[in-house]
Structure 1
Amino acid sequence: MADTTNRLAGIAYLTVDGTNYMLAGDFAYSVSKVARETLMGQDRVHGYSEKPKQGSMSGSIRDAGGLSVASFNAMTNVTVTVELANGKTIIGRNMWTVGDLEVKTTEATFEVKWEGFSVEEA
């Protein structure tokens, strides 16, 4: 067995509510809890504002023959889990999908994005 102690990227596994899906391309996630914006005055920087921010997870999914793309649009309270090559597990609970689900037939892929109250690294 190959030593993977230095592996940082590459392999990733995606499950939604325990069902495995083929992850065709990059997966992205945001664990940020707040969004900050600098408040500028005419005289100087005054400080910043801070608002709550949703967690998010997104990726390119392979449209396998038995897959229902419409089922992704129906996701409103799911747990999304991704296991990364570097040993991290990313978990989003109570997630819902946002945006359009458009299948690209050349590669049989579609982009999906989940948002929710938080995304955590384990």
Structure 2
Amino acid sequence: MGDTSNRIAGTANVVVDGLTIMVAGKFKYRPSKVKRETLTGMDRVHGYKETPISGLISMDVRDSGGTSVTDFNDMTNVTVTATLANGKIIIGSGMWTTDAQEVESEDAVFSVTFESDDVSEN
């Protein structure tokens, strides 16, 4: 068996409430809790403002025969768990989908974005 100790990217295995989904690509996550914006005046930088933001897990999903696109649109209060090539485990709790899913039929893929206030990386 090959040595994968230096592997840091390239795979994401995702489970949504116990259902394993086919990740086609573009996996992203955001465990951040706040967004900061610099506030400037005409004389100098005054500081920054800080506003809360939601955590995020998003990806392109393959529309396989066992996948229901409608079910993704109905998802609220789900747990999303992703295991990445570098060994990190990303967990989002109480998540909901935020966009309407549109399937691109040439490659049978659609984008899905989950958001909540609870995304962590371990």
Q: How high is the TM-score relative to the length of structure 1?
A: 0.98
Distance 1:114 1:81 in 2: 11
Distance 1:9 1:54 in 2: 24
Matched, 1:77 2:70: no
Alignment match, 2:90:
90
Structure 2 residue identity aligned to 1:68: S
Q: Which runs of 5 or more residues in structure 2 are unaligned?
A: none
Question: Would you identify which runs of 4 or more consecutive aligned residues in structure 1 move more than 6 Å?
Answer: none
Distance 2:60 2:82 in 1: 13
Distance 1:8 1:58 in 2: 19
SS in 1 for 2:75: coil
Structure 2 residue identity aligned to 1:47: G
Q: Deviations over 1:8-32 (max 9, x none)?
A: 1112101001110000112000011
Distance 1:26 1:51 in 2: 26
Q: Percent identity?
A: 56
Give the C-alpha shift of residue 39 in structure 1. Answer: 0.5
Equivalent residue runs for 1:1-122 within 5 Å: 1-122=1-122
Give the C-alpha shift of residue 66 in structure 1. Answer: 2.3
Indicate the RMSD between aligned Cα atoms, in angstroms. 0.6
Q: How high is the TM-score relative to the length of structure 2?
A: 0.98
Distance 1:22 1:98 in 2: 19
